[in-house]
Structure 1
Amino acid sequence: MATPPGTGSVQLRPKLSELAATISANAKIVEDYLESKGLPYPSFAADGPSNFPIPQTPETEEIHDARQALLTASKHIYDLATGPNEYLRWLVWNYNDVSTLHVIVSFEIPKIVPLEGDISYAEIGEKCKVPELKIRQVLRLAMVNRLFYEPRHGYVAHTAASRLLREDPLMLNWVSYNTDDLAPASLKVVDALKQFPDSGETSDTAFALANNNESLFQFLGARPERAKRFGQAMSAFSTGQGYAVEHLVNGYNWGKLPKDATVVDVGGATGFVCVELAKAHSDFKFIVEDKVKAQLELGESTLDPALKPRFSYLVHDFFTEQPVKGADVYLIRWCMHNWSDKYAATMIKSLVPALKSGSKVIINELALPEPGKSNPWEERRIRTLDMVMMMCLNALEREEGDWKRLFAEADPRFKFESCTQPPGCLMNIVEATFVDE
């Protein structure tokens, strides 16, 4: 397998021929695997697979390494062959891609275009009550991003990506949430940095400046339909490859805990993470905590009756003192990245009065890699997420050193154990043990 230039270290002078060789070698590895397993071939066509067709399992790890090498080299060769002048000139126009998506989902164009066959720009314009020429302007730009295509002059048909916006409500909500709620906030980042450079408050953000000084939580709380869409958008984001709960279940050595260990899921929503842990560890007991009572009630009402003897549910605000004393594990998953260091530290400190010597705090979130150490596609995803957290909540994604510092500042009795990333997972498992001797 060829190694992609730029992986593991920032390389400023890659050669086009070497990048091309890397692309060729790794494309063959991926293509051979697809053909040997009879898997559907990736395609832009409407009947193409919605996800990359090779499942992410331990058995396919080498194939996905080849795929990542292919993606990395492809990005490098595109950027290198473009050149910095032309690259910057068009990079700044990327907001037009978001704008076309906004038009497409707002006017429900994926539903207007039939799954089979095509439809004219004139008919789309008539249904949208928008002039044909303006619809044509929007869609022909979208088409360069593989959203729809023009099978014959003046007519529009679906691609795999546009079909997804028609058939997958989670993806539709993810796109519409970003275009409606986040894109306007992105234009206020400079204002927020100038007005509130040192703030860690959710009210002092670009999002608040774009929404009449309402924080994201206030905004969603006052708009149930937007809140519902937000929840579905987050489901689309967090259930994708690399975020599945199975990585936490299989990627941490739960067997080193007492056989009948008690796990407290802090901010656990419905308790869906603990349900998966319970299936794998038949003697563990679980206490699911959340501030939102409705989430707990939903989890309890849908829980498998066979698991109910090992589950309990408790309304709790994780910024206040932890009421469950002496548990073996306090698990926090996808909560702390919503908050600045000020509040993240409070979250950890609130656990301390409840901890016994040997209690573990396990955090399942991102630990940002060093710059340039990941492939550029993965790094772009996590750096973008980091920016969104600042823009919306004055929060952040953290590096391993940040996690170490938070535990050290919360209480010197914490022993930082590890920060690991299971294979195929985009999240990390951060572990600290409370040692009170």
Structure 2
Amino acid sequence: MSGIVQLLQLRKQLNAAIDTLVASPEGESLPALDDSLSNAPPALMTAPGAATASAVAQKIMALLAGPHRGFALSLSGHVPACLVAAINAHAAEAIREGEVEPGAGLPVSEIAKASTIDSGKLARVLRLLAANYIFVEKKPGVFANNRCSIGLDTGKTVNELQRRPVDVYKGTNGHVALMAHCAEDGLKATAFLTDALFDKETAHSYKPEHAPVSHAYDRPIFDFFAAPGNEAYLKRFGMAMYAINSIMQGEATLATGYPFQDLAPGAKIVDVGGGVGSVSLTLRRLAPHLSFVVQDRSEVIEQQAPQVWQERAPDALENGSVVLQAHDFFSPQPVKDAALFLLRLVIHDWADEEALAILRPLAEAATSETRLLLVEQAYEPLQPDPLVHNSMPYLVDLEMMAVLNAQERTREQYVELAKRAGWTHVKTWVPMLGDAPSGWRHYEFKKA
């Protein structure tokens, strides 16, 4: 097949996907790119045709660029670095506060006053982002927000951000925290990926201490977060994990996957490695008749989780329907009467041996009626042409490798892993978003 024939086929696919999106209710709500006031609803990301249109556009770019695509990608690491710089400079908030009217823009000399950054360097940072459709350069040195850059806006005032730098993400939805975590911690880890892949000591190791990020932070990332003086990193990570639930439409997919509502009144769900408890917050709204135990490291449970629950569901802690419990999930499980052990995006943080060390204590604490539910992202090998690809699962997989020496897994890999830990596969639930399967999978197991 010639390149022109392939290009024409891709045009046909792209037009069909756009037509599908335009005809959908979600498509009607699509704001313009230069609209800095309207954030597209999460449903738009999974609207019919949206993912296909984006993927086809990427394939067209690859077809037209050819060998030069690798060169362009080799320089693209500067983009996440500039994202973190813009976030730390409070650029989106400064523009929102300072411009005369939405879309008018603000001189970079004024934007730079929100932090200690040099205005000339900030201009170059924002210019690269604007070249990637994040911010708009209205005229030389004057930048405005657009629909992409408002994703960098915490919603706070510049004064608030300057007064409490360690709490810049406190009280937010965590979306900016997640972006900053991936763009900073992930980028630092990725910078050492090749070193770790070819170093004799680490090349064939799956130990967390041999993850590429250890080259950047001189220790595994969770040890770095827990170290004195790194409270801002720890708080950012906690809010980043909270954000995943909304960004990936966790509430909708929890409602349509495993039938939590069918569990008996008072049934106890143990949210293992649950962070601040974002999943339990969602499940409590969906199934208020259940009780929850949120388990995580002491620094998360004692320093972050209480504040989240006091803000979002203060009655839960008061009436005892939710218990926050500091627990190392490599140690024996203290809860012996769980109806369900729930691990959402936990096992993908660990290589096989560590994952087995997490799952085995749960099997030992389980009764014959207890169920194990692993909530993870769907991950499958790439399919050949003429299909177009969504690179996100593979980006997340490499993030796991670089930051944690871990991995995403296929259904078959999860089933085999759980079997080795004393669990038998019962069913794989596929949550839906509207009429389409979501990117989540709920893997249900019982004690072997």
Query: Who is 1:288 aligned against?
Result: 294
Tell me how far 1:126 sits from its aligned partner.
Answer: 8.2
Provide the C-alpha distance between the structure 1 equivalents of 2:428 and 2:384, rounded to a whole number of angstroms.
16
TM value normalised by structure 1? 0.81
Provide the C-alpha distance between the structure 2 equivalents of 1:230 and 1:285, rounded to a whole number of angstroms.
26
Matched, 1:141 2:118: no
Higher relative contact order (CA 8 A, sep 6+): 1
Judge conservation of contact 1:337–1:397 (CA < 8 Å) in 2.
yes
Over 3 Å counting, the alpha-carbon distance change for 1:154 and 1:214 in structure 2 is: closer
Q: Find 1:71's aligned residue among 38, 54, 68.
A: 54
Provide the C-alpha distance between the structure 2 equivalents of 1:53 and 1:318, rounded to a whole number of angstroms.
33
Deviates more, 1:170-179 or 1:118-127: 118-127
Provide the C-alpha distance between the structure 1 equivalents of 2:321 and 2:108, rounded to a whole number of angstroms.
59
Matched, 1:94 2:100: no
Query: Who is 1:187 aligned against?
Result: 191
Deviates more, 1:92-101 or 1:249-258: 249-258
Secondary structure at 1:382 match in 2: helix
Matched, 1:28 2:19: yes
Query: Who is 2:362 aligned against?
Result: 351
Judge conservation of contact 2:29–2:40 (CA < 8 Å) in 1.
no
Query: Who is 1:226 aligned against?
Result: 233
Secondary structure at 1:150 match in 2: strand
What are the residue-to-residue correspondences of 1:306-325 with 2, within 5 Å?
308=319, 310-325=321-336
Tell me how far 1:240 sits from its aligned partner.
Answer: 0.3
Matched, 1:262 2:251: no
Query: Who is 2:219 aligned against?
Result: 214
Provide the C-alpha distance between the structure 2 equivalents of 1:145 and 1:385, rounded to a whole number of angstroms.
21
Judge conservation of contact 2:349–2:404 (CA < 8 Å) in 1.
yes
Judge conservation of contact 1:296–1:314 (CA < 8 Å) in 2.
no
Query: Who is 2:8 aligned against?
Result: 17
Judge conservation of contact 1:98–1:179 (CA < 8 Å) in 2.
yes
Secondary structure at 2:432 match in 1: coil
What are the residue-to-residue correspondences of 1:342-381 with 2, within 5 Å?
342-372=353-383, 379-381=390-392
Tell me how far 1:70 sits from its aligned partner.
Answer: 1.7
Q: Find 1:415's aligned residue among 409, 418, 424.
A: 424
Query: Who is 1:6 aligned against?
Result: none
Q: Which amino acid in 2 is paired with 1:47?
A: S
Tell me how far 1:259 sits from its aligned partner.
Answer: 5.7
Q: Find 1:253's aligned residue among 244, 249, 259.
A: 259
Q: Which amino acid in 2 is paired with 1:319?
A: F
Judge conservation of contact 2:214–2:220 (CA < 8 Å) in 1.
yes
Q: After superposition, what is the alpha-carbon deviation per residue over 1:237-292, rounded to whole angstroms, capped at 9, x for unaligned? A: 442033x1342233113466556543332233444433443444454443433342
Provide the C-alpha distance between the structure 2 equivalents of 1:422 and 1:73, rounded to a whole number of angstroms.
25
Q: After superposition, what is the alpha-carbon deviation per residue over 1:161-186, rounded to whole angstroms, capped at 9, x for unaligned? A: 22332344534433433443332221
After superposition, the CA RMSD in angstroms is 3.3
Tell me how far 1:361 sits from its aligned partner.
Answer: 0.9
Matched, 1:430 2:421: no
Tell me how far 1:111 sits from its aligned partner.
Answer: 4.0
Tell me how far 1:416 sits from its aligned partner.
Answer: 1.0
Tell me how far 1:431 sits from its aligned partner.
Answer: 0.8
Q: Which amino acid in 1 is paired with 2:22?
A: E
Tell me how far 1:123 sits from its aligned partner.
Answer: 5.6
Q: After superposition, what is the alpha-carbon deviation per residue over 1:69-118, rounded to whole angstroms, capped at 9, x for unaligned? A: 22222222222222x21222212111232343344334333344334323
Judge conservation of contact 1:39–1:53 (CA < 8 Å) in 2.
no
Judge conservation of contact 2:112–2:122 (CA < 8 Å) in 1.
yes
Provide the C-alpha distance between the structure 1 equivalents of 2:85 and 2:40, rounded to a whole number of angstroms.
24
Q: After superposition, what is the alpha-carbon deviation per residue over 1:363-385, rounded to whole angstroms, capped at 9, x for unaligned? A: 112241232389856x4222111
Q: After superposition, what is the alpha-carbon deviation per residue over 1:113-171, rounded to whole angstroms, capped at 9, x for unaligned? A: 33432334566578866364x55544333221112223334533222222332344534
What are the residue-to-residue correspondences of 1:192-207 with 2, within 5 Å?
192-193=196-197, 194=199, 195-207=201-213
Provide the C-alpha distance between the structure 2 equivalents of 1:398 and 1:318, rounded to a whole number of angstroms.
20
Secondary structure at 2:203 match in 1: coil
Matched, 1:239 2:226: no
Judge conservation of contact 1:319–1:347 (CA < 8 Å) in 2.
yes
Tell me how far 1:232 sits from its aligned partner.
Answer: 2.3
Q: Find 2:30's aligned residue among 38, 41, 44.
A: 41
Provide the C-alpha distance between the structure 2 equivalents of 1:129 and 1:240, rounded to a whole number of angstroms.
30
Tell me how far 1:349 sits from its aligned partner.
Answer: 0.8
Judge conservation of contact 1:416–1:431 (CA < 8 Å) in 2.
yes
Q: Find 2:118's aligned residue among 116, 130, 139.
A: 130
TM value normalised by structure 2? 0.79
Tell me how far 1:299 sits from its aligned partner.
Answer: 7.0
Judge conservation of contact 1:386–1:397 (CA < 8 Å) in 2.
yes
Over 3 Å counting, the alpha-carbon distance change for 1:207 and 1:376 in structure 2 is: farther
Give the unaligned 5+ runs of structure 2: 156-168
Provide the C-alpha distance between the structure 2 equivalents of 1:373 and 1:300, rounded to a whole number of angstroms.
46
Provide the C-alpha distance between the structure 1 equivalents of 2:305 and 2:89, rounded to a whole number of angstroms.
36
Q: Say how many residue pairs are matched.
A: 409
Residue identity (%)? 22
Q: Which amino acid in 1 is paired with 2:398?
A: M
What are the residue-to-residue correspondences of 1:326-337 with 2, within 5 Å?
326-337=337-348
